[in-house]
Structure 1
Amino acid sequence: MLQDGRILIVDDDQDILVAGKMLLKRHFSKIDICNRPEQIPALLAESRYDAILLDMNFGPGESSGEQGYRWLEKILAIDPQAVVIMITAHGDMEVAVEAMKRGATDFVAKPWHNNKVLATVSSAVKLSHSRTEASELRTANNLLAEVTSQSSQPIIAGSGAMRQALNLLERSAPTDANVLILGENGTGKELIARAIHGQSPRHHKVFMSVDLGAVAESLFESELFGHRKGAFTGANEDRTGRLLAADGGTLFLDEIGNLPLHLQAKLLTVLAQRQVTPLGSNQAKSFDVRVIAATNLPLEQLHDEQRFRQDLLFRLNTVEIHLPALRERQEDIAAIAEYYLKHYCRKYQKPAKQLSQEAMAQLQAYHWPGNIRELRHALERAVILSEHQTLDATDFQLSNRAMVPTVQSNMQTFNLEELERQAVEGALKTHRYNISHAAKALGLTRAALYRRMEKHGL
């Protein structure tokens, strides 16, 4: 069987090129030859070679090796991970040693012995594969470190609607079925996705989360599929895509409903083939991931073919889990509030606080358009600002906030801070706390909107 390896031979002697290709093509999968070194940059732009055999001298009368040193330097500038084997004249040991000091991996002497060449190239190909795997592992580990640094939270569920969702979770988690989680923003879709992963046979592998609503269209393929160095402007190094980084584990695609149709088609193709080709590469790589997707879009919008591909929907929703809004599970509000109250007291090193009966009644009566996320922010703000051990209704003022009009309907205040808060809150409510849509309506980026939400405690 042919060994998986792409080899490039660069020499101005046609006999050497023909002999080298005849020898190596019986052992390696791809052999390219080149008799003009100035073509090297173009060849490296088209393919990544596991080993490059490079002559030390080009042209009649050349024997100093300076041309070989110069092209070795250019190759390593293009691809610092390149494995280069120098072709030297017989007995020219000093030139070979100097080339290895400058970054060459090994050398072969002309006239060469076939067994020696095969052994040298085989070692070089193995070294190249090891370097590639090490680079991909470093990239994957960086992503893993980013993901695993996030703290986990318990699922607090006593209501019937949440018990039904958890029942589906427990039945689907041990399988490899794709899961689609539906629910408004702030209902805990990622928390449920992590629980599915944690109860699955893949729990010892990575859980990789991608917020598709925050990924620019131009970076979608690079983010999910990865890219090779030089694939586009700014691609200064190889990058492992999220699909390959999550290999063996779970990929959580949040805000799947925000993905444009043309990118939905690309995602569908990759998921159907279970192979991905990084940008700038011509080699497809297989992956094994379980896909969990989530969206805040209602089902009727997901079933609109003008908005979402139905073939992609069928692939994603083997199991559908609907998460109720917080207003639909009021019996859970007390337990959730107590949990976050303790959490933020610990986080900000505050004495233990408790909720008054009036405050708890207000929390349970409020309609929570931002769901658990809004409840969490309200409790965090109250813990920070209140100087009392018992939080009362005035620490939240939810009844007033529930009735705040939009900027358009209230021009009685000219305070810029208040107007900004009203504009942000009005946009959030209008777009049902869809961050992407609210940010677009306000003319802000998602990051800028999040900063203003934090600033105003929304």
Structure 2
Amino acid sequence: MKHGTLLVVDDNRNILTTVKMVTEQTFERIICLASPSSLLTRLREDQPDVVLLDMNFHSGINNGNEGLYWLREIKKARPQTAVVLFTAYADIELAVTGLKDGAADFIVKPFDNHQLIEKLTDAYQKTRKKKPTITAVSEMIWGTSPAMRHLRDMVEKVAGTDANILITGENGTGKEVLAKEIHRLSKRAGKALMPIDLGAVTETLFESELFGYVKGAFTDAKTDKPGKFELAEGGTLFLDEIGNLSYALQAKLLTALQRRTIVRVGGSKPIPIDVRVVCATNRNLEEMVRQGAFREDLLYRINTIQLHLPPLRERTGDIMTYAGSFLHRYAHLYNKEGMTFAPDTQEKIEHLPWYGNIRELQHAVEKAVILSDGTTIRPDDIEGSATTRPQPTNDIQRLDDMEREMIAKAITECEGNLSHVASQLGISRQTLYNKMKKYGI
């Protein structure tokens, strides 16, 4: 009988195909990734029992450090998941390091099929004997600026409640990391934190993604599938970019939150849900309500507590705290331990505007670590990709505002029926979709 979920991460697609064929009679679900870039997201969404993790992903780096880095990230994010390391190098020291860092076992390529199944099965059985462990590791870097100290006080007060929370802030300020911290500190920490980017969910897939579907609901629905609400049962549902949700879909989300039940697509049975909702946006939802682009009743429902993450340029005293953390992380990842910032590099970092916020700073430090030839990061090694922010002219801004307001008003008058909206405005549905995406409606 097949049991559990296996996540395989290897940049060799032939190996992914082979492993899937070998293990498909052992595991109920097998997920294959050719890159670890989406590993943590799939870890949260699919909650695998076992991860088979390759040790190397970038050409020219073959010392296993990447595998060890991702092993530690997996154990931080989901310690109850067993990790089996996959390496082409029979290096006992590397294997011992991996085992010390929490790996359940390791497999050397080329592998024996029977040994592969045996080790993966043993790793799965070990997860069955353990109760889920609440991770005590925090990804949040608070800093010491007054704004962040105030935010930390607020989080410590509200995290332990079941109040719905709205996190606001510019792109790259760390809204998802803050959502993880709220979940970590909550009574629901032993359950799943289920993130979903509403800006990336198309209108046609919204209900099946959030509410799930039953077998036969549509052509490709070959089995029943739970949606994000069910997968987050007892835990936290993180709805990112909620300001990008169309007016019509806002009503469907509001209904689920008010009734605390969902109905799968193609089904008829109401399913009770017990989730805490944390939302995030980089938009001004109050202004969107005034423009008729966001439902006021939904805003009240998700905005019991509002937490604002200030842009990095407004907490300059924390910039080097973040930069130092990223330097340590990537120096370890790329086997360049002991790297430091030169004093004039620190000064440059502190004075760049960082319009891309923490995300931009993180990418800049990673790039500097990769390209640096020595152990000291020099000023020329640090590039701020958004050191200047072009501003639209007032005339263009006013035209955009008028068009956006006209579309929002039409959506309200047509009660979210986009076919009627497009007809009223004299444009095609596709043009309407493009403009809604442009303006974040």
TM-score interval (norm. to shorter)? 0.5 to 0.7
Instruction: Indicate the residue corresponding to 1:241 in structure 2.
Output: 227
Any idea what SS the aligned residue of 1:217 has?
coil
CA shift in 2, pair 1:141/1:292, >3 Å: closer
2:387 aligned residue (379, 387, 402): 402
CA shift in 2, pair 1:308/1:164, >3 Å: same
Offset at residue 214 of structure 1 (A): 1.2
State the alpha-carbon separation in 2 of the partners of residues 320 and 356 from structure 1: 39
The residue type equivalent to 1:402 in the other structure is T
Any idea what SS the aligned residue of 1:363 has?
helix
2:268 aligned residue (282, 290, 297): 282
**After superposition, what is the alpha-carbon deviation per residue over 1:320-372, rounded to whole angstroms, capped at 9, x for unaligned?**
00110000000000111000000001111123211111111111111111100
Offset at residue 302 of structure 1 (A): 3.9
Listed as ranges, the gaps of 5+ residues in structure 2 are 1-27, 32-41, 52-72, 78-137, 392-433
1:209 aligned residue (153, 178, 195): 195
Identity of aligned residues (%): 45
Q: CA RMSD in A?
A: 3.3
CA shift in 2, pair 1:397/1:375, >3 Å: closer
The residue type equivalent to 1:351 in the other structure is E
Any idea what SS the aligned residue of 2:163 has?
coil
1:296 aligned residue (282, 286, 293): 282
The residue type equivalent to 1:145 in the other structure is P
Instruction: Indicate the residue corresponding to 2:373 in structure 1.
Output: 387
Instruction: Indicate the residue corresponding to 1:197 in structure 2.
Output: 183
**After superposition, what is the alpha-carbon deviation per residue over 1:412-434, rounded to whole angstroms, capped at 9, x for unaligned?**
xxxxxxxxxxxxxxxxxxxxxxx
Offset at residue 142 of structure 1 (A): 6.6
Offset at residue 237 of structure 1 (A): 1.8
Offset at residue 382 of structure 1 (A): 0.4
State the alpha-carbon separation in 2 of the partners of residues 197 and 403 from structure 1: 36
TM-score (norm: length of structure 2):
0.58
Instruction: Indicate the residue corresponding to 1:269 in structure 2.
Output: 255
2:361 aligned residue (366, 375, 381): 375
Instruction: Indicate the residue corresponding to 2:36 in structure 1.
Output: none
CA shift in 2, pair 1:145/1:302, >3 Å: farther
State the alpha-carbon separation in 2 of the partners of residues 226 and 401 from structure 1: 40
The residue type equivalent to 1:190 in the other structure is E
Listed as ranges, the gaps of 5+ residues in structure 1 are 1-134, 407-439, 445-458
Q: How many residues align?
A: 279
State the alpha-carbon separation in 2 of the partners of residues 404 and 142 from structure 1: 35
Offset at residue 143 of structure 1 (A): 2.1
Instruction: Indicate the residue corresponding to 1:184 in structure 2.
Output: 170
Instruction: Indicate the residue corresponding to 2:47 in structure 1.
Output: 144
Alignment check: 8 A CA contact 1:155 1:191 kept: no
Instruction: Indicate the residue corresponding to 1:330 in structure 2.
Output: 316
State the alpha-carbon separation in 1 of the partners of residues 390 and 245 from structure 2: 32
CA shift in 2, pair 1:387/1:405, >3 Å: farther
Alignment check: 8 A CA contact 2:165 2:302 kept: yes
State the alpha-carbon separation in 2 of the partners of residues 404 and 271 from structure 1: 38
Offset at residue 246 of structure 1 (A): 0.7
2:239 aligned residue (253, 275, 290): 253
The residue type equivalent to 2:311 in the other structure is A
Any idea what SS the aligned residue of 2:47 has?
helix
CA shift in 2, pair 1:299/1:142, >3 Å: closer
Alignment check: 8 A CA contact 2:355 2:389 kept: no
State the alpha-carbon separation in 2 of the partners of residues 162 and 352 from structure 1: 29
Alignment check: 8 A CA contact 1:140 1:240 kept: no
The question of 1:312 aligning with 2:298 is answered yes
Any idea what SS the aligned residue of 2:290 has?
coil
**After superposition, what is the alpha-carbon deviation per residue over 1:200-235, rounded to whole angstroms, capped at 9, x for unaligned?**
111111111111111111100000000011111222
User: Which runs of at least 4 in structure 1 moved beyond 3 Å after TM superposition?
Assistant: 138-142, 145-152, 403-406
CA shift in 2, pair 1:405/1:245, >3 Å: closer
The residue type equivalent to 2:47 in the other structure is L
State the alpha-carbon separation in 2 of the partners of residues 391 and 168 from structure 1: 36
Offset at residue 199 of structure 1 (A): 0.9
State the alpha-carbon separation in 2 of the partners of residues 266 and 344 from structure 1: 42
Higher relative contact order by CA 8 Å / sep ≥ 6: 1 or 2? 2
**After superposition, what is the alpha-carbon deviation per residue over 1:19-59, rounded to whole angstroms, capped at 9, x for unaligned?**
xxxxxxxxxxxxxxxxxxxxxxxxxxxxxxxxxxxxxxxxx
Offset at residue 191 of structure 1 (A): 0.9
CA shift in 2, pair 1:155/1:302, >3 Å: farther
Offset at residue 155 of structure 1 (A): 2.1
CA shift in 2, pair 1:397/1:291, >3 Å: closer
2:326 aligned residue (340, 344, 349): 340
Offset at residue 141 of structure 1 (A): 9.2
Q: Which structure's CA Rg is the greater one?
A: 1
TM-score (norm: length of structure 1):
0.56
CA shift in 2, pair 1:404/1:261, >3 Å: closer
Offset at residue 304 of structure 1 (A): 2.7
State the alpha-carbon separation in 2 of the partners of residues 307 and 344 from structure 1: 42
Alignment check: 8 A CA contact 1:156 1:336 kept: no
Alignment of 1:29-68 (within 5 A): none
The residue type equivalent to 2:246 in the other structure is P
State the alpha-carbon separation in 1 of the partners of residues 158 and 374 from structure 2: 45
**After superposition, what is the alpha-carbon deviation per residue over 1:162-215, rounded to whole angstroms, capped at 9, x for unaligned?**
111111111111111000000011111111111111111111111111111111
State the alpha-carbon separation in 2 of the partners of residues 170 and 336 from structure 1: 21
The residue type equivalent to 2:165 in the other structure is V
Offset at residue 299 of structure 1 (A): 4.6
1:227 aligned residue (194, 199, 213): 213
Offset at residue 263 of structure 1 (A): 0.2
State the alpha-carbon separation in 2 of the partners of residues 394 and 140 from structure 1: 37
